[in-house]
Amino acid sequence: MNELLKQMAQDASQTPTDNMGKIGSVANDIADTDKEISEIEEQLKKKKDYKKHLSENVLPNLFAEVGLSELKLADGRLIKIGNYYGASIKEDKKQAAYSWLRNNGFGDLIKNQVSCSFGRDEDEKARGLIQTLDEQGYQSSDLAVLASDSKDASGFGNLDMSRDIAIPYINILQSNSPQLNPSKAEHVEGAKVGQFYNTVSQEVSDSLNVIPVLYQLKYVEWKPREQGGGFVTSHTADSGILSQTKRDQVTFKDVLPNGNYIATTAYHYVMVQGGDGNWSQAVLSMTSTQLKKSRRWNSFMLTQKVKGPSGSFTPPTYAMIYKLTTVSESNDRGSWFGYQVEKIGQVEDGDIYSEAKSFSTTVSRGEVEAKPVVEGEPVKEAPKSATQESKEDIPF
């Protein structure tokens, strides 16, 4: 246990709580710098185009007007006017063009580049070929890569975590969820309103034990139901997309000029404990009324303290286990079930801690990303006298 506490303290020291604001500031600075780089690159392109215009059009015309072909400047530089020819071949015409060049005695204009790939256990053959080419005066290069034995040998092939793996969503079943409707293909026998539902294992439960590993805020763009509905794309928290929206005074949705709307969504990537006691990866999405729950949970995690060998410290989020249950909620616009979070205690199994930390790293690198698969529940029209508080608390 002492070793695990040391590891927690070390992980916590790498991202101190006091630096959380700095991390956000640096992230924004990176985004601003990317924008500046794009602007500079665009300016550079314009400068290059301008230089090309001066060199290939303006200057030759001026030389022609005074009848000169070259001019020596005061600083010793010599400017000459000459002919320059350039050409390019469209991709679908290349083979025909190469054949014409060869057949008409211009084969020496063609430069060939030949590549050859070798499989496992053929390293010596590859090195031998390179040596032979070098001895015959040909330039060659060697690009060696490590074979992905674990994937290929186990049958996973070129499986891509961000593309081919479905990260389970943990949803709360509402009264109109298809899992509760016997006539729907998604129906789950025995499922009840207010229970948690795992979209991959299709398990339902009244409560869940979770270890939060990473938090992300996204602005998710949806197409309106009257236009067919469905997920469009996710925008990052620093994208500025929300500034392009207008609040609909009937639905209180943030609507874009194209008619799509933005749902501010908090994603909590977690390790979730199944009915068999094993832990697996999942993601919780909180939007609308549940954004307050997300903020409270984040604040609660930041206040946690663990006593380590060198004193108390704020542990990484994946050092603590929390219990999730649901609670019935309502306002002027309807009723629904929302999240309720309480702390269970500290992670005591080193293997589980390491697995949670690894999942956190994977998500932070962008190797795993939450991809919304369903749109939020429809909402009822708010009364004209709705308060600002009720405007925020829209059932999801």
The tens digit of pLDDT for each residue in 98-144 reads: 888 889 888 888 887 777 777 767 778 877 887 787 777 776 665 55
Evaluate if residue 234 carries a pLDDT over 60: yes
The pLDDT tens digits for 139-172 are 666 555 444 444 444 555 555 555 556 688 999 9
Query: Residue 143 has what pLDDT?
Result: 55
> Over the stretch 254-263, which tens digit does the pLDDT of each residue have?
999 999 999 9
Write out the two tokens for 364.
């932070």
pTM beyond 0.75: no
Average pLDDT over residues 9-23: 61
Would you list the domain boundaries of the chain? 167-392
Ranges 17-31, 250-264, 316-330: which has the least confidence: 17-31
Q: What is the mean pLDDT of residues 56-74?
A: 81
